[in-house]
Structures are given as C-alpha cells and as structure tokens.
Structure 1
Amino acid sequence: MVKSIPTRTVWMCALSGALLLTASCSSSGDDAAAATPDVAVSSCGALDPALEWYGDNRQRLDRMIAEKGTCGVDGDVADGAPLALFDWDNTVVKNDIGSATAYWMIKNDKILQPEGADWATTSRFLTPDAVAALGAACGAEMAPGSPLPTGSDLDCADEMVAVLDDETTSGKPAFAGYDHRRTKPAYAWAAALMGGHSVDEVTEYARAARAENLAAPEGAAQTVGTTEVDGYVRYYPQIVDLVKVLRTNGFDVRIISASAEPVVRVWSEELGLAPERAMGVRPVVENGVLTRHLVGCGGVADGDDSVIPYIDGKRCQVNEVVFGVSGPAAFDQLPADRRQVFAAGDSVTDVTFLGDATGARLVINRNNAELMCNAYDNSDDRWLVNPMFLDPKNRAEEPYPCSTKAYTAADGGKGAVHRVDGSVIGDQVDSVY
C-alpha cells in the first residue's frame, strides 16, 4: 500500500536563486505523513510532482537538493561538488541486473569450463559440497575454456542457478569462510562466471540481457534450466528523475553496486553517466580478458577475492575510488566534509554507505531487518523510507528484531543493531509500505 500527499495549493516566488514552495498537504488514514509547508526548490530543477513518492519524501529531497546543490551538470567531488551515491539493484531498477546477466549467459551457453574442470578455481569460498555438485552436474567432458552447454544441459544450469542463490540443488550451503560484512560470495561468483571472456564480450552479453529484460512484460518470470526466476527489469521513473535533477543541480552522481562493474556500466548509460561513475564488482582483467579473480580494496591484494562492494566493502570502494584513500584506512568512515551528501539503497549491502551520507539517506523498503532498523530509528532525522515504486513489499508482520538479532556480524552471527553512539536500537515496526 503506497500513500501519497496530494498538493492542493501551491505558491512560488523567487528567493535568492531558489523558489519557495508553500503547499497545503493532506492525506487520508492513520499513517498520514506530516505536512511540509515551506520547501525550498532549486531554480535549476526540481523533482517531477507528477511522479508519486511516499508522504513528503519528494519535498524533503527537493529541500536537500536546493540546500546542497548549485546549478550545473556533472559536478565532480574533486572540484568540491556534493556527491550522490546510488546502489543499483532494486534501488534504481526493479530486480537484479547481475542475476539477469548471469541467467542470460547460462541460457546462451556463455559460461566457460573452469581450469581443470575444477569449480574450486572459480571461488575460494565455494564449499566442498558446492564444488562437488557443480562438477557432477556440469561434467569434465568440455575442455577448460570451452563453453558449457548450459542452454540444454538442465542439470548443470540448475546447479549454477542454485549456487547463485547461495546453496546447492540439494539445499547445502554453497559458500563458507568469508567476512559477512565485506563480501557476498554469490554476488562475486556471478562476476567470476564471466571469466575467460573479453570486456567487449561481457559488455555485449550485458546489453543483450538488458534488452531481453526490458522487453519482457512487467512481472514476467523466465525458466533457466528448470528453475523459474525473475524475467524482467524496469527502471524506476522516480529514481531516473532524481538522478537527472541531482545532476542538473551540480551533484557528482555515481553508482556503487554489488553487480559486476561491466554490467553496471551498461545499465547506467540510460542515466547519462560516464563509465567511470558506475562502480561494481571489479574482475581482474588481463590482456583485455576477465579472470575469475577480483580487484582488492583497503589493502587487500588483487586476487584475494575477499572484498566486494558489499556493506563495509561499499564504503571501502567509494573511499578508495572516489576519495583516493589507500590501504586499510579505506574501510574507515571519512570526516563529514569528505563524504557523500546523499545516498540511496534497499538492502543490508547498503547500510554502511547509507549511514555515511551527511544530507539525506533514501531507503527503498524491501523489509531488510538491519537496514530498516537504522532507517526507522532515524536518530539524526536524515533517513527517508519509501516503498518499492513497483510491486511494493507487504508490511512486515512482526517488528524488526533490532534489539536482538537484526545485525549480521563478520562471522555471520546475529546480534543487536547499535547507533553511532553505541546504544542499542529498539525493535521497529514496519510503517512505510
């Protein structure tokens, strides 16, 4: 259920290069959001009032943009421009472009036999059960580097799809032994499946997957092997508009995603972003060909494969790539004047870089406990919660267990979610849906 506040009366007047928007707002129901009678709107561009946002989120974003931005296009943090960071999957678009590309490659026989037909070479975090299951399903008949016939070999395709979802087809864990706040091995494995292909080939596959998923009907599913998975992707018009307005107001807009960087760069073209402004999981490239290994971060060597842009790994990559911080210090929070002004995300993978934002933090509600604990606690009044713009989640039936088990520790254990000052966040009721 998505509720909005209709604008009944609007007056505008010029004020110091901005517009002052005064609106009388009302809404029905017990969950009506508070009205925002005085909202500064930038004279060089504001969010489209015809696009529906929850409550007063659009007005609050307009205020932040007017306060922090300056008329101009494609600012650069190196020149003092405010930084805006977006997660990609289920934040800018509905569904997951990394998965969509992996599924396309599986259906079209683009996955190459690993070295020695040994799946352990594709990720050091694969469990022995997963290595054995992939080996048994996919066989050793094809020479290393040759395409596996996953479009017709349904057992091999099914095992790959299962491992991409963190388990084998028999339900055993697919990955183990990793830092749960620095990587998600299944996401990294989606990038590793591209190993052996050139950057140009992977770009071609990403474009083909993009075309297929945008052309599919909204809500469509597809069958990969014998497994039914999501079969469509859609850009959220509200987020596309937000990116456009931020750029018009001189923000340096960048993507930080846990999907493979070559794939993110293809999809971000729609937003007018240059390739270097789209960050993701970074495969090591040798002589123009993607390897099965990843670029390191925060003093972690290339090929160690233990850090991707996931939770604390997202902060690391932003600090390293955008702000030039090297070594272990890239995992540390920078001073406020060297951090992003705005951030948007939807899941636990985004909680650290969202918390680093100094101006506003937009959360797309997908019922992720740790993220929603922080967002609903809203201890510094910078968190904005919005239902998914397409096919929103139902309200979480029970309060998020913030005080006991919503936080995921590095070893995978569960615990309480803490504020910056160390105090424990109380359990939170899902109220924006």
Structure 2
Amino acid sequence: MPRPTTARRLRAAATTVAAVALSGATLLTTAPPAHAARPGAPCATPRLTADWYGDNRARLQQLIDTYGTCAHRPGRAKPVAVFDWDNTVVKNDVGDATLFWLLRNGRIRQPARGDWSTTSRYLTPAAASALADACGALARPGDPLPTGAPRGTGCADELNAVYGTGATRAGAAAFAGWDHRTIEPAYAWLAQLTQGWTAREVRGFAAAARSENLAAPVGAVQRVGSSTATGWVRYYDQQKELIASLRKAGFDVWISSASPQPVVEVWAEGVGIGADHVLGIRNTTTPAGRFTTHLKGCGSVPDGADSMVTYIDGKRCWINQEVFKVRGAAAERVQPAARRQVFAAGDSDTDVSFLRDATALRLVVNRNKNELMCRAYDNADGKWIVNPMFIEPKKQKAAPYPCATTGYVGRDGSPGPVRRGDASIVPDQTDTVFPFPGPLQRNVRPSPR
C-alpha cells in the first residue's frame, strides 16, 4: 500500500482531536493545520530543555505547542506573552541596582529650589524635611549631589532609607495618600529621581550598573553611603530559554515592570526584547528631552497626575493601552479574552492583575507574597503553575497564607480577604512549592557582560 503524501498527512492531522490534560481536567481541542517553516518542511515548535519544578516544563511546552506558530494560521494576531522583570526574569532588582549605582556615582540631582516635595506628590513633609537637612547644603538646585563622596554619606543614607524602607532614618513615614492598587510611590520615586537627565543618559547609567552586577559573584555586596547593599544580579537560564522559545514560536513577548523604563530597556536586551516591547515607569520630559519629576499616565489618568504606573492594576492598564491599543478609561478594565495575553509570568503582588488576565497559563515564581500565592494556590480555573525561585529559592512558608482575612490590600492600604471573580473568599492556603535538592541551582555562575 503506498505511503500517504505529506499533504495528505497534514490534512489528516488537521482533523485530529487532541486531549490535553490541564490540572486534572481534560480540554478537547481540534488540532489546526500545521504550517511549514519553509515549503515542504514540517512545522516544529521549539522544545524547552531547562530544568523546572514538577510538571511545569510540560505545561509550558503545552502552551507553546498549542498557541505557537504551528497552531495558528498566518494573518491572525500573534498570541501575547507578558513577563514581569525583577525576580521573575532575573534574580534581584534592577531598579535597586540602578539606584545604588546612582548613589555611589553621584548622579542624583538636587531638586528645584532644594525642595524635595517637588520630587513626589506623595512625599510627606517629614521626609522632605529630612532630605533637605541631609542634602540641602551639598549642591545647588539642578546639580548632582556628591552621594558617592564622604561628605555626601548622610544624604546617600537618607535617600536610600526613603526609597528602600518607605521611611526616614528617624522612622517617620516617607509617603502618604496614594492608591495602593495603581502606584507604589517608592518605586515611582526612583524614576522621578532621574529628573534632569535624558533617557539616553539614564540608559548609560543602567548599562554601567548592569555590567557591575553581572560581573559580581553571587552574594556580593556593595557599599552605599554608610551601609551595604546587594551587589549582584543574574538572568534566570530557564526564563531566558522560555522567552527565546516563545518568540521563536511566534509569540509577541512583552516585559512589564515597576522599574524605570530606560533601566528595563537596557536589561531586556539581554533576552532579546527591544525597547518597543518594554513597559516600565515612564517620566514626562521637557522640550529638550530631559526627564521631569512627573510621570506619564494611562487610561483615564493624564500625564503628570502621577497616579497610574506599571503596578498591580496599573500594569493591566498599561498592557491594555500599549499592547492591545485600548484607549481611555476602558484600558483600566478587564478586556474580552481575545484582547488579552494568553500567558503571563510574575513573582509579586505587583503582578496579580495582569496574571489574572492571562487566558491560558500563569507562571508564578514563589517569593511568598500573600495575594499572589493565595490566588496561585487556590488555582480556581486550573491555569496557575508555581515554581520556586531558580536561584536562592525561598524556604517553605511556615504559616498558611492569610487569604481569608488579610491577604488583599485595598486602594487605601487596608487589608482584607482575597476574593475570586465571583466574590467568594479564597480560604487560607498552605505553601506547597518550595526548595528541593536538584539542578535548579546550576545557574549561579557569573553571567557574560
């Protein structure tokens, strides 16, 4: 009997019904026709090879096989994948790394009139006063502060305390009056502290910090003011491979981060993502192209209102606006499934909203964050997967996550229960995905610059 032709085999494959196991449920899908990478060649999606926890690699491979180039017809919109950056694609925080570099190298400018309240509308009078006392005599308005020199140590310490702890060195609250679902004022303040510089200059600062942090050994610390701070960053091998495989399979891959836009642009180059696919905190600029202390808005929030950045619900807005071209207040709302990402990855409560919006699969890197882990472990629709951190993973959280009582933070900062989409309360969840002996610790070598 003659063997069937390639065309006949592809036509037969197009009618095959594939049973796909998803968290105990069986999803029946009709396999679409494959499309050859070149005339006469079979279509094959990239295969993941890196080490993952449990069956996570199989679930991610299933995503690629189901939505990749071999499974969708030419002319249709590419499936979208969105990754958080800090501690999701890399270990440690590139915003922190940049601030430490700015302080060590004296690249933060004295604000206009020496008035620190101009740097953030949420900065408290106590914080503005503490910063003025520590930094006011060191430079004229607009000039860089000598935070890397001995005489600038107190100023560096005050800036680092306000950014890193949300309080002054004396313990007074540094920020007040913000919407806890759309902005984190300390994260935004880092972008605002780049006022007076151009995007190109800030990218240069970030590139210098990147080189230092990739070259430093794992566990390295650096001197910042009178204290020490984390001095190293690493790309996760697993995430680099996943991003490369998704892009090769035809996904439209984006980065959404609560670090400053130029900083993330520099780091994203290391995984092949261009600046036009990075969503970070964005400054407004002067006519000469220099950053101001104000921020670009999203949805119904205008530029300069400084209240909607890439943070929790703000990430949803920026993704809807920039990726799916939804305009106005509609960008702040959950969109129909056809106008949402199929895949999302994150590690923090910062990422909850855009992860929930993903329609096919949601990857959580476990850093023991309450709301995120409540939703991931509740796994109400079977589309959540959890992985330990790939380098220096967290130990198992001893107590259950307080999902039913205080796992959620409201707009005014008050705690409450975590609720599902139908308003039912998520019960407390036990931490079940935690470190184990194995090859996940292999990628601790210094990364190439």
Q: CA deviation at 1:44?
A: 2.6
CA contact (8 A) 1:283 1:291 kept: yes
Q: CA deviation at 1:233?
A: 0.4
Q: Partner of 2:420 in structure 1?
A: 419
Looking at structure 1, the residues matched to 144 and 232 of structure 2 have their Cα atoms a distance apart, in angstroms, of 25
Looking at structure 2, the residues matched to 305 and 138 of structure 1 have their Cα atoms a distance apart, in angstroms, of 24
Does residue 174 in structure 1 map to residue 174 in structure 2? Answer: yes
Alignment CA distance shift 1:193-1:79 (3 Å): farther
TM-score, structure 2 normalization: 0.86
Greater mean deviation of Cα atoms: 165-174 or 312-321:
165-174
119, 140, 143: which one pairs with 1:143?
140
Amino acid at match of 1:171: G
Q: Partner of 1:20 in structure 2?
A: none
Q: Partner of 2:93 in structure 1?
A: 96
Q: CA deviation at 1:71?
A: 4.9
1:65-102 deviations in whole A, cap 9, x for unaligned?
10111159xx99x9510000000000000000011111
Amino acid at match of 1:70: T
Amino acid at match of 1:343: A
Aligned length: 403
Looking at structure 1, the residues matched to 311 and 13 of structure 2 have their Cα atoms a distance apart, in angstroms, of 41
CA contact (8 A) 1:71 1:248 kept: no
Q: CA deviation at 1:227?
A: 2.1
Does residue 301 in structure 1 map to residue 302 in structure 2? Answer: yes
Q: How does 1:338-377 map to 2 (within 5 A)?
A: 338-377=339-378
Does residue 127 in structure 1 map to residue 124 in structure 2? Answer: yes
Alignment CA distance shift 1:264-1:79 (3 Å): farther
1:410-430 deviations in whole A, cap 9, x for unaligned?
000000000011100000000
Q: Partner of 1:232 in structure 2?
A: 232
Looking at structure 2, the residues matched to 62 and 171 of structure 1 have their Cα atoms a distance apart, in angstroms, of 48
Secondary structure in 2 matching 1:189: helix
Q: Partner of 1:24 in structure 2?
A: none
Looking at structure 1, the residues matched to 320 and 126 of structure 2 have their Cα atoms a distance apart, in angstroms, of 36
Secondary structure in 2 matching 1:280: strand
Looking at structure 1, the residues matched to 269 and 83 of structure 2 have their Cα atoms a distance apart, in angstroms, of 14
Secondary structure in 1 matching 2:362: strand
108, 111, 120: which one pairs with 2:108?
111
Secondary structure in 2 matching 1:405: coil
Looking at structure 2, the residues matched to 217 and 285 of structure 1 have their Cα atoms a distance apart, in angstroms, of 37
1:325-367 deviations in whole A, cap 9, x for unaligned?
1221111000011100000000000000000000100000000
Q: CA deviation at 1:16?
A: 4.3
Does residue 85 in structure 1 map to residue 82 in structure 2? Answer: yes
Secondary structure in 2 matching 1:279: strand
Q: How does 1:19-418 map to 2 (within 5 A)?
A: 43-48=44-49, 51-71=50-70, 80-152=77-149, 153-165=152-164, 166-286=166-286, 287-418=288-419
Greater mean deviation of Cα atoms: 51-60 or 321-330:
321-330
Q: CA deviation at 1:141?
A: 4.4
Q: CA deviation at 1:145?
A: 0.8
Amino acid at match of 2:62: R
Q: CA deviation at 1:280?
A: 0.3
Looking at structure 2, the residues matched to 283 and 140 of structure 1 have their Cα atoms a distance apart, in angstroms, of 27
Looking at structure 2, the residues matched to 285 and 303 of structure 1 have their Cα atoms a distance apart, in angstroms, of 10
Q: CA deviation at 1:140?
A: 3.5
* Large movers: runs of 4+ above 2 Å: 14-17
What's the % identity of the aligned pairs? 53
Q: CA deviation at 1:117?
A: 0.5
CA contact (8 A) 2:312 2:350 kept: yes
Looking at structure 1, the residues matched to 167 and 76 of structure 2 have their Cα atoms a distance apart, in angstroms, of 46
CA contact (8 A) 1:312 1:352 kept: yes
Alignment CA distance shift 1:225-1:70 (3 Å): same
Secondary structure in 1 matching 2:69: coil
Amino acid at match of 1:348: D
Looking at structure 2, the residues matched to 172 and 381 of structure 1 have their Cα atoms a distance apart, in angstroms, of 44
CA contact (8 A) 2:45 2:65 kept: no
Looking at structure 2, the residues matched to 351 and 320 of structure 1 have their Cα atoms a distance apart, in angstroms, of 18
Greater mean deviation of Cα atoms: 361-370 or 290-299:
290-299
Q: Partner of 1:9 in structure 2?
A: none
CA contact (8 A) 1:85 1:342 kept: yes
CA contact (8 A) 2:344 2:363 kept: yes
Looking at structure 2, the residues matched to 100 and 324 of structure 1 have their Cα atoms a distance apart, in angstroms, of 32
1:397-418 deviations in whole A, cap 9, x for unaligned?
1000000000000000000000
Name which one, 1 or 2, has greater alpha-carbon Rg.
Answer: 2
Secondary structure in 2 matching 1:253: strand
Looking at structure 2, the residues matched to 236 and 45 of structure 1 have their Cα atoms a distance apart, in angstroms, of 18
Amino acid at match of 2:236: Y
